[in-house]
């Protein structure tokens, strides 16, 4: 017995594919950009945008067909309890 997990490989036909609004698209048909879209004292927000650059869907060329977002909380919220006044 080992504690090693069995890692399931994706089907061969899905390797290098990305799920988008157009279905599963080859990564080579996408221009992928990662950008920081917000930074405040409370959050960082990052987005990964996939623009279609393939030839199968000409109407979708240069449009965003997938967008992932990461919101990283830098700091939560505080309830401040002031010292009692004497």
Interface residue list for another protein (CB under 8 A): 19-21, 37-38, 40, 42-43, 45, 47-48, 64-81
Contacts 24+ apart (CB under 8 A), 45-51: 45/69, 45/70, 45/71, 45/72, 46/70, 46/72, 50/18, 50/20, 50/25
- Kindly state the smallest distance separating residue 42's Cβ from another protein, in Å: 7
Cβ nearer to another protein, comparing 2 with 75: 75
- Kindly state the smallest distance separating residue 1's Cβ from another protein, in Å: 26
């Amino acid at each position: 017995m080992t504690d090693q997990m069995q890692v399931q490989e994706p089907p061969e036909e899905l390797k290098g594919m990305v799920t988008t609004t157009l279905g599963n698209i080859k990564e080579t048909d996408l221009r992928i950009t990662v950008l920081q879209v917000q930074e405040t004292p409370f959050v960082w927000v990052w987005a990964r945008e996939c623009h279609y650059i393939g030839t199968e869907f000409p109407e979708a060329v240069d449009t965003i067909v997938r967008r992932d977002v990461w919101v990283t909380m830098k700091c939560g919220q505080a309830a401040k309890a002031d010292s009692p006044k004497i």
